Amino acid sequence: MKLYHSADTYDNEVPSVVTIGTFDGVHIGHKKIIERLVESASNHGLESVILTFFPHPRMVLQQDSGIKLINTIEERTQILEKTGLNNLVIHPFTKPFSRLTAGEYVDQMLVEHLNVRHVIIGYDHRFGRNRNSNITDLASYGIQNNFTVEEISKQDIDDVAISSTKIREALLEGDITKANTYLGYNFMLTGKVVKGKELGRKLNYPTANLHIKEDYKLIPKNGVYIVQSKIDNKLYFGMMNIGTNPTVDGTQQSIETHFFDASFNLYEKKIQIELLKRIRDEKKFDSVDQLQEAMQQDEDFSREYINSLV
């Protein structure tokens, strides 16, 4: 897959089949549409292109929307990489861009830059300034500009939309099992390991503190989770706490993971952690001893679960 950070730099000479959308989560519903795109392109000797925008339009047009996404743009790219897609175009969504008329948008983006021959698009897709134009308009532009438009039906879209919202809700409720089922892969958190209070090692549970730089990334409900992570090509299991560490009077939310049967220096390292199962809520214990006991129980429970996987 070739990645372009703007449609302006797209340089493939072969005409394309384009799908436009956010694809946050790249879940099983999205995958069906992407399969259709990839198959259509390959059947007609064309290039498959996903045109997506970053930042998310709502992050630019309604800056206070506080929108949270299932994937960072980097994670989204990583997941799309595995779908057989030829080209991913992440076009910068800016205020000036949002003011292009429908005609300008089609001419510049689809025709001039992406050399489009076929568009696969949702029945309710709106585009151009103030989202003025719809799929019927796109089809007329197509007649003038030598491309065809294929509609994704309401039924297919509803399947997709429902699961996207459901995944966000599931994550906020801590239902990681449900989220993973809809995603078709394990929900992940990606970031850099930073220094914490250095208390973990005193509790006999050193914990890698994950710093996620993308403030728009959706963080699941506070609590304790069983996790896995590939670090330097080796798979480690562990237990993660997402929360404010009330026992030690913490206030800031932290994301901390203790990896089993591992001893390494992870500071400054970029890691990706997959969440497998939620164990319990975070609690304020009366003493650090009680916290340590709870962590021992979490470990026992996690190890049993992990052993049952293999």
Cis peptide before 55 (omega within 30 of 0): yes
Counting residues that bind ligand FMN (by CB under 6 A) gives 24
Q: Does 258 bind ligand FMN (CB under 6 A)?
A: yes
Distance CA 213, CA 190 (A): 9
Q: Which of 136, 233, 251, 263 binds ligand ADP (CB under 6 A)?
A: 263
CA distances to 139, 180, 225, 263, 275 from 255, rounded to whole Å, are 48, 19, 10, 19, 12
The region, left, alpha or beta by phi > 0 then psi within -120 to 50, assigned to residue 192 is beta
Beta strands at 47-54 and 234-243: parallel, antiparallel or unpaired: unpaired
Distance CA 307, CA 11 (A): 49
Q: Does 198 bind ligand ADP (CB under 6 A)?
A: yes
Q: Give the contacts of 261 (CB within 8 A, at least 6 positions apart).
A: 236
262 binds, among ligand FMN, ligand ADP, none (CB under 5 to 8 A by kind): ligand ADP
Q: Does 154 bind ligand ADP (CB under 6 A)?
A: no
Q: Are 13 and 24 in contact (CB under 8 A)?
A: no
Using a 10 angstrom Cβ sphere, with 0-12 exposed, 13-18 middle and 19 or more buried, the burial of residue 1 is: middle
Q: Which of 154, 197, 211, 230 binds ligand ADP (CB under 6 A)?
A: 197
Give, as ranges, the residues between 152 and 181 that touch ligand FMN (CB under 6 A).
none
**At its nearest, how many Å lie between ligand ADP and the CB of residue 169?**
30
Q: Does 221 bind ligand FMN (CB under 6 A)?
A: no
Q: Given the rule CB under 6 A, which of 84-92, 118-126, 177-185, 254-262 is the region that contacts ligand ADP? A: 254-262
Q: Given the rule CB under 6 A, which of 17-25, 143-151, 207-215, 218-226 is the region that contacts ligand ADP? A: 207-215
3 binds, among ligand FMN, ligand ADP, none (CB under 5 to 8 A by kind): none
Dihedral sign for Cα atoms in the order 196, 199, 202, 204? negative
Q: Does 258 bind ligand ADP (CB under 6 A)?
A: yes
Q: Does 266 bind ligand ADP (CB under 6 A)?
A: yes
Residue where the block lists tokens 């696969």: 120
**At its nearest, how many Å lie between ligand ADP and the CB of residue 180?**
23
Instruction: Kindly compute the dihedral angle of the four CA atoms of residues 276, 282, 285, 288, in this order, to the nearest 10 degrees.
Output: 50
224 binds, among ligand ADP, ligand FMN, none (CB under 5 to 8 A by kind): ligand FMN
Give residues in contact with ligand FMN (CB under 6 A).
Answer: 196-200, 205, 207, 209, 224, 239, 241, 245-248, 256, 258, 282-284, 291, 294-295, 298
Give residues in contact with ligand ADP (CB under 6 A).
Answer: 193, 195-201, 206-209, 258-259, 262-267
